Amino acid sequence: MNYKEILKKRIKTHRKILFSKEDEIILSLNEIICNMPRKAVILWALGLAEETVILLERKYPLEKRPRMALMSTKMWASGEIKMPVAKKAILDCHAFTKEISSPVDIARVHAIGQACSTVHTNGHAIGFPIYDLSALIFENDLDNYDEIITSRIQYYTEKLLYWKEHYKTHSSQWASFIID
């Protein structure tokens, strides 16, 4: 079964997440993430979350939970607040999905939550692409899935490689628990 057939089957069974950690395209991306410095992965994930928050703010201008999750996470990463405060903001962000019906937006909100959770452990980093790619498939024509996925994976990879080269010169202050 080719990947298009797998996606069709997952859509037909009303899955909200169309990708899995075991999918070949996700495995290859996760391998890159696992070999990256922790700070680079955090900067990568939070940058992608920022882009996604902006998309959601255009559609839901009064909704602040995704932005608050991102802001709290940045404060946590810099040592300004402790994990429980950021965790609450991230969980509040995820809770927003219970109030919306768009599969695209639900996936995007969860992508933000996963990106923010990367500060806790790099294992959450792969959650962003899993949800983000799902949103892109829900939003676009499945006939063009290959081009959409390939382009987005390339974007993730380019951003990861950028942060691998530049994370040390980034002006971020880091909490003591975040080490390379």
Residue 13 lies in a domain: no
Q: Can you give the residue range of the structural domain that contains 106? A: 21-167
Residues 6+ apart with CB under 8 A from 73: 46, 49, 86, 89, 90, 116, 119
Residue 177 lies in a domain: no
CA atoms of 32 and 20, how far apart (whole Å): 16
For residue 26, the model assigns a pLDDT of: 93
Residue 180 lies in a domain: no
Residue 151: in which H helix or E strand, if any? helix 145-166
**115, two tokens:** 């990106």
Give, as one character, the DSSP assignment of residue 99.
Answer: G
Q: Which parts of the chain have pLDDT scores under 70?
A: 1
For residue 1, the model assigns a pLDDT of: 62
Closest CA to 110 of 93, 98, 86: 93
Residue 4 lies in a domain: no
The 10 Å Cβ neighbour count of residue 124 is 18
What are the φ and ψ backbone dihedral angles of 177, each rounded to 5 degrees?
A: -80, -10
Residue 174 lies in a domain: no
Question: What total number of domains does the chain contain?
Answer: 1
Residue 173 lies in a domain: no
**55, two tokens:** 């998309």
For residue 8, the model assigns a pLDDT of: 86
Prediction pTM value: 0.94
Burial class (CB in 10 A: 0-12, 13-18, 19+), 123: middle
Residue 176 lies in a domain: no
Residue 16 lies in a domain: no
**Amino acid identity for residue 75 in this structure:** M
